[in-house]
Amino acid sequence: MAFVITSPCIPEKAADCVDVCPVDCIVEGDDQYFIDPDLCISCGACEAACPVGAVFEEYDVPLGESHYIEKAIRFFQNA
């Protein structure tokens, strides 16, 4: 998984990341957006565009937000 969207997305859900993604790998879930790791090319456009700083490279996800990695994995397993 290249990039992960974390908790600041939930109240905001601005979709700026969706608009800039060159490979359309960002999918809307019930409460937040998710980045499909199989389609993501790790360009970083989503991270730069996020107005609330919710997007991180997987290895940079803050400790208190690490459960969002598992949440994203579950989202795509159930898709």
Contact 58, 69 (CB under 8 A): yes
Write out the chain's pLDDT in tens, 79 residues.
589 999 999 999 999 999 999 999 999 999 999 999 999 999 999 999 999 999 999 999 999 999 999 999 999 998 7
Q: Where are the domains of the chain?
A: 3-77
SS3 79: coil
Instruction: Tell whether pTM > 0.75.
Output: yes
pLDDT at 78: 85
The matching CATH number, chosen from 3.30.200.20, 3.30.70.100, 3.30.70.20, 3.90.550.10, for 3-77 is 3.30.70.20
Go through the chain and tell me how many residues it has. Answer: 79
- What is the DSSP-derived secondary structure letter of residue 58? G
pLDDT at 1: 57
